[in-house]
Structure 1
Amino acid sequence: MTVAVLGGTGFIGSAIVESLVLRGLSPVVIARGEHPIVLPDGAVFEAADRMDRERLSSICDKHGITTVIDIFALGMLNTAPVLAALEDAGRRYVLLSSVDVYSNYGGLLRREEPAVQHHPAVETDPLRSFRYPYRGNARRPKGVDDALFDDYDKIIIEETALADQRFSTTVIRAPMIFGPGDKQHRFAWAIEAIRAGGTIRLDERAAHWLNSYGYVTDVAEAIVVAALDPRAADRTYNVGQSFVRTPVEWLHRFAEIMGISIDIETVPASERGLLWERAEASDLRYPLTLDTSRIRAELGFSEPTSEDAALHKTIAAGG
Structure 2
Amino acid sequence: MKILAIGATGFIGLPVIRQLMKQGHQIALFHRGDTTASELDSILHFYGTRHQLPNFKAEFERFAPDVVLDIIPFTEAQAQAVVQAFSGCTQRIVAISSGDVYRNYEGLQGQGKHPPDPVPLAEDAPLRETRYPYRDLEGLDFDFKQNYDKILVEQVLMNQPELPGTILRLPAVYGSGDRQHRFLPYLQQMFDRQPILLEEEQARWRFSHGYIENIAGAIALAVTDDRATGRIYNLGEASTPTLVERIQRLGNLVDWQGEIVTRPKDQLPSHLQMNLQWRYHLAIDTTRFREELGYVEPIAEEEALQQTIAWERENLTATSPE
TM-score bucket of the superposed structures, by smaller chain: over 0.9
Match of 2:319 in 1: none
Give 2:119's aligned residue: 119
1:302 equivalent in alignment to 2:296: yes
CA distance in 1 between partners of 2:210 and 2:227 (Å)? 23
Name 2:320's counterpart in structure 1: none
Do the aligned residues in 1 keep the contact of 2:19 with 2:216 (CA within 8 Å)? Answer: yes
Are 1:252 and 1:262, in contact at CA under 8 Å, matched by a contact in 2? Answer: no
Give the stretch that moved more between structures: 200-209 or 170-179: 200-209
Question: Percent same amino acid among aligned pairs?
Answer: 32
The reply to whether residue 21 of structure 1 matches residue 21 of structure 2 is yes
Secondary structure of 1:206's partner?
helix
Q: What is residue 110 of structure 1 aligned with on the other side?
A: 110
Q: What letter is aligned with 1:266? A: T
**Aligned position for 1:79:** 79
The 8 Å contact of residues 16 and 223 in structure 1, kept in 2 or not, is answered as: yes
Q: Select which of 282, 285, 299 maps to 2:279.
A: 285
Give, in angstroms, the shift of residue 90 of structure 1: 4.9
Residue correspondences, number:
313
Corresponding position of 1:96: 96
Distance 1:266 1:205 in 2: 9
| Distance in 2 between residues matched to 1:245 and 1:49, nearest whole Å | 39
Contact 1:56 1:82 in 2 (8 A): no
State the one-letter code of the partner of 1:267: R
Q: Does 1:267 align with 2:267?
A: no
Are the aligned partners of 1:202 and 1:273 in contact in 2 as well (CA < 8 Å)? Answer: no
CA contact (8 A) 2:189 2:195 kept: no
Corresponding letter in the other structure for 1:200: I
State the distance in 1 between where 2:5 and 2:73 align.
Answer: 12
Amino acid of the structure 2 residue aligned with 1:300: G
1:198 to partner: Cα distance: 3.2
Flag the 1:8–1:274 CA change in 2: closer, same or farther, 3 A.
Answer: farther
Deviation at 1:42?
5.1
Greater CA drift, 200-209 or 281-290: 200-209
Give RMSD over aligned pairs. Answer: 1.9
Find the counterpart in structure 2 of residue 192 from structure 1.
188
Q: Is the 8 A contact 1:176 1:212 kept in 2?
A: yes
- Give the deviation of 1:91 after TM superposition: 2.1
In 2: Cα distance, 1:69 partner to 1:119 partner: 29
Amino acid at match of 2:178: D
Shift, 1:175, TM fit: 0.6
Q: The residue matched to 1:317 in structure 2 has which SS?
A: helix
> Residues 56 and 223 (structure 1 numbering): CA distance in 2 closer, same or farther, change over 3 Å?
farther
Looking at structure 1, the residues matched to 255 and 123 of structure 2 have their Cα atoms a distance apart, in angstroms, of 38
8 Å Cα contact 1:237-1:295 kept in structure 2? yes
> What TM-score do you get using the length of structure 1 for normalisation?
0.92
Confirm or deny: 8 A CA contact 2:205 2:281 kept in the other structure.
Answer: yes
1:45 aligns with 2:39: no
Work out which of the residue numbers 210, 216, 226 in structure 2 matches 1:214: 210
Change over 3 Å in CA distance of 1:36–1:297 after alignment to 2? closer
Which of the numbers 243, 247, 252 marks the counterpart of 2:243?
247
